[in-house]
Homo-oligomer: A and B are copies of this chain.
Amino acid sequence: MKKILITGGAGFIGSHLARRMLNLGHEVTVMDNLFTGNKSNIYDLEVNPRFTFLLQDVTQPFWGQFDDIYNLACPASPIHYQRNPVETIKTSLLGMMNVLELALKTKARVLHTSTSEIYGDPLEHPQTETYWGNVNTIGPRSCYDEGKRAAETLCVDYAREYDVDVRMVRIFNTYGPNMHPRDGRVISNFIMQALRAEDITIYGTGDQTRSFQYVDDLLDGVLRLMDLNRSDLIDACRKHGFDIPVMNIGNPAEFTIRELAEKILELIPGSAGKLVFKELPMDDPQRRRPDISLARELLDWQPHVPLKDGLTKTIDYFRTKS
A interface residues (Cβ-Cβ under 8 A, vs B): 84-86, 88-90, 93, 97, 118, 120, 123, 132-138, 142-143, 146-147, 149-150, 152-158, 160-162, 242, 244, 246
**Judging by beta carbons under 8 Å apart, are A161 and B86 in contact?**
yes
Chain A interface SS verdict (over half): helix
- Give A60 Cβ to nearest chain B Cβ, in Å: 14
So how many copies of this chain end up in the complex?
Answer: 2
- Give A116 Cβ to nearest chain B Cβ, in Å: 13
Q: Which of A85, A134, A150, A246 has the most CB of B within 10 A?
A: A150
Q: Which of B86, B134, B160, B161 lies in contact with A132, CB distance below 8 A?
A: B134
**Residues in B whose Cβ lies below 8 Å from that of A118:** 137
**Judging by beta carbons under 8 Å apart, are A138 and B154 in contact?**
no
- Give A233 Cβ to nearest chain B Cβ, in Å: 15
Q: Which of B84, B134, B157, B242 lies in contact with A85, CB distance below 8 A?
A: B157
**Judging by beta carbons under 8 Å apart, are A152 and B132 in contact?**
no
- Give A15 Cβ to nearest chain B Cβ, in Å: 28
**Judging by beta carbons under 8 Å apart, are B161 and A84 in contact?**
yes
**Judging by beta carbons under 8 Å apart, are B161 and A85 in contact?**
yes
**Judging by beta carbons under 8 Å apart, are B89 and A154 in contact?**
yes
User: Whole-angstrom distance between the alpha carbons of A13 and B88 in the complex?
Assistant: 32
**Judging by beta carbons under 8 Å apart, are A244 and B153 in contact?**
no
- Give A128 Cβ to nearest chain B Cβ, in Å: 13
Chain B residue nearest to A142 (CB atoms) is: B153
Given A84-B161, A85-B161, A161-B86, A153 contacting B132 (CB threshold 8 A): no
Of the A-B pairs whose beta carbons lie under 8 Å apart in the complex, a sample of 17, sorted by A's number, is: A86-B161, A89-B157, A90-B97, A132-B135, A132-B136, A137-B150, A137-B152, A138-B153, A138-B155, A138-B156, A142-B152, A142-B157, A143-B153, A146-B146, A146-B150, A146-B152, A149-B150
**Judging by beta carbons under 8 Å apart, are A142 and B156 in contact?**
yes
Given A132-B136, A138-B244, A150-B93, A157 contacting B120 (CB threshold 8 A): no
Given A85-B161, A157-B143, A242 contacting B138 (CB threshold 8 A): yes
**Judging by beta carbons under 8 Å apart, are B152 and A150 in contact?**
no
Chain B residue nearest to A120 (CB atoms) is: B132
Q: Which of B86, B123, B149, B246 lies in contact with A157, CB distance below 8 A?
A: B86
User: Whole-angstrom distance between the alpha carbons of A35 and B89 in the complex?
Assistant: 27
User: Whole-angstrom distance between the alpha carbons of A297 and B229 in the complex?
Assistant: 58
**Residues in B whose Cβ lies below 8 Å from that of A90:** 97
**Residues in B whose Cβ lies below 8 Å from that of A149:** 135, 137, 146, 149-150
**Residues in B whose Cβ lies below 8 Å from that of A156:** 137-138, 142
User: Whole-angstrom distance between the alpha carbons of A152 and B139 in the complex?
Assistant: 10
**Residues in B whose Cβ lies below 8 Å from that of A88:** 157
**Residues in B whose Cβ lies below 8 Å from that of A120:** 132
**Residues in B whose Cβ lies below 8 Å from that of A123:** 123
Return the 8 tightest CB-CB contacts between A and B, nearest first. Answer: A150-B150, A85-B157, A146-B153, A142-B153, A137-B152, A138-B156, A146-B150, A86-B157
**Residues in B whose Cβ lies below 8 Å from that of A93:** 93, 150
